[in-house]
Amino acid sequence: MHIRPFKETDTELVSALWQEVFPDEPAHNAPALVIKQKITHQPELFFVSEEAGKITGTILSGYDGHRGWFYAVTVSPQHRRQGLGTKLIRHAEQALTALGCTKINLQVRSTNAAVVAFYKELGYEVEERISMGKRFSQ
């Protein structure tokens, strides 16, 4: 297993993985759209794990100069419970801290207890915050 920066030639495989892992995502999270947006802004913080020519996991990370963020952390169902998610998180943490990032935020659906437990095991804490958002038509 190798973690490396995303390449545009990975688009089809990453899209397929996201559709498998996130089958109920809303239209604004369509893989092709998300990938297109990410490769125009900090593409060096978009990582994939690869094994035998297959994409086995992804992590989108970002840094605004104040806080870091994680998005689209995925591991293919066939590669779960093998430490890959942890390796992806640690890889992105190192990339962000190398840029001077001192805090990383992420959002998890409140109904996804297994993922909350995963992040807690890695030292992330539930913070008393209200997540708010506003959508703009494109």
Q: Each residue of 1-23: pLDDT tens digit?
A: 899 999 999 999 999 999 998 87
The pLDDT tens digits of the residues spanning 63-112 come to 999 999 999 899 999 999 999 999 999 999 999 999 999 999 999 888 88
Class of domain 2-121: alpha beta
Which pTM was predicted? 0.91
For the chain, domain boundaries: 2-121
Residue 68, Cβ neighbours under 10 Å: how many? Answer: 23
The pLDDT tens digits of the residues spanning 101-134 come to 999 999 988 888 999 999 999 999 999 888 888 8
The tokens of 13 are what? 């495989």
Phi, psi angle pair for 117, to nearest 5°? -65, -40
| Helix runs in the chain, H state only | 11-21, 31-38, 84-98, 113-121
Rounded to whole angstroms, the Cα distance separating 39 from 15 reads: 14
